Amino acid sequence: MENKTAVIALAALAQESRLAIYRALVQAGPTGLAAGKISEVTGIAPSSLSFHLKELSYANLVSSRNESRFVIYTANFSAMNDLLAFLTENCCNGNACLSLAACSGNNDSLPSTPTDNPS
């Protein structure tokens, strides 16, 4: 993933309504939600919802499909996984993380380095 792509995705999520929409779509899973249901679940007015969905679509974080007379929106899990991989690709000093504690800042589970144990 390129920096520009990551910035676009992060910028799309850095807004309260869009984050709420994305989280609702993640919770809905691959079946997705119709725009009306997204509005109902998030409390976002339909007039604002289309703007936010457009921004999330531009960032490739959501996709849509037509089902009968409804447009169904789904979270693009692949794009989010790519973003998370990009953000963590140099995790733990280039070493594979051994545990969640290693990524949480708990240094007890990290291998010691010469700077950790000065003599």
What's the whole-model pTM score? Answer: 0.75
CA-wise closest residue to 103 among 79, 87, 82: 87
Residue-range domains of the chain with CATH: 3-79 (1.10.10.10)
| Helix, strand, coil distribution of the chain in percent, nearest 5 | 60, 10, 30
The pLDDT confidence band at residue 94, using thresholds 50, 70 and 90, is: low
**64 - beta bridge partners?**
73
**Per-residue pLDDT at 29:** 94
What pLDDT, in 10s, does the model give residues 38-90?
Answer: 999 999 999 999 999 999 999 999 999 999 999 999 999 999 999 998 888 87
